[in-house]
A and B are shown apart, each in its own frame.
Chain A
Amino acid sequence: KAGVTQTPRYLIKTRGQQVTLSCSPISGHRSVSWYQQTPGQGLQFLFEYFSETQRNKGNFPGRFSGRQFSNSRSEMNVSTLELGDSALYLCASSLASSGSYEQYFGPGTRLTVT
């Protein structure tokens, strides 16, 4: 069974631009969560989608948004990029909805904002 895939793996953007990241979950998984990881900050929860509906949202500004498609693939968008948005963005999929303890992570997208 294929794992979670994320594209692109690396991205360099300029302040003020916007970016869209993509995540394909494991086949059969309907929940997709997004996390931001920066050195020393652990995994900061962004949002979770289940069956195309946003179930939970973390404490991030409205510049961060996401969506999920009928095939469970998910996209995350960040508008008006800031230098502080430079991070590793991870998505994770799971069988169950909110609160699933076993999440399968993708390799991440390394975003650098200059």
Chain B
Amino acid sequence: GQSLEQPSEVTAVEGAIVQINCTYQTSGFYGLSWYQQHDGGAPTFLSYNALDGLEETGRFSSFLSRSDSYGYLLLQELQMKDSASYFCAVTSASKIIFGSGTRLSIRP
């Protein structure tokens, strides 16, 4: 079957760096993506990794290690508006499966 694990909650300080980890088990793995969801809002796509390594998009970076079935989302220079839930999702040939989400709280 398929499963994803990510921490349920993470707390960080404004201006700092935070890393949200995701480990997965799946067959027919294509890639790992990340979504952000603010309270009361819809999930929005952040990034996608199909190959090993780091992908950077502004303050956000995403990393994948296919051999370790592991990835993470790195958020730098944290801002209060980054307070949200973050979901990792595994894509295979036939479907995309989402994790349970990590709620990121940021303190001033």
The interface of chain A, by Cβ under 8 A from chain B, is: 4, 33, 35, 40-43, 45, 48, 55-56, 90, 92, 98-108
Chain B 22-60 near chain A by CB (<8 Å), digits 1 or 0: 000000001101000000011111001000000000000
Interface class of chain B by DSSP: strand
Chain B 81-108 near chain A by CB (<8 Å), digits 1 or 0: 0000001010111111111110000000
Q: In the docked arrangement, what's the CA distance between A91 and B92, Å?
A: 19
Interface residues on B, range: 20 to 34
Question: Nearest Cβ in chain B — how far from A34, in angstroms?
Answer: 12
The interface of chain B, by Cβ under 8 A from chain A, is: 8, 30-31, 33, 41-45, 48, 87, 89, 91-101
Q: Does the CB pair B98–A99 fall under 8 Å? A: no
Question: Nearest Cβ in chain A — how far from B24, in angstroms?
Answer: 13
From known contacts A40-B100, A42-B100, A101-B30, infer whether A56 and B94 are also in contact, taking CB-CB under 8 Å.
yes
A101 in complex: contacting residue of B8, B31, B42, B43, CB < 8 Å? B31
Question: Nearest Cβ in chain A — how far from B11, in angstroms?
Answer: 17
B97 in complex: contacting residue of A4, A45, A90, A100, CB < 8 Å? A45
Q: In the docked arrangement, what's the CA distance between A108 and B44, Å?
A: 13
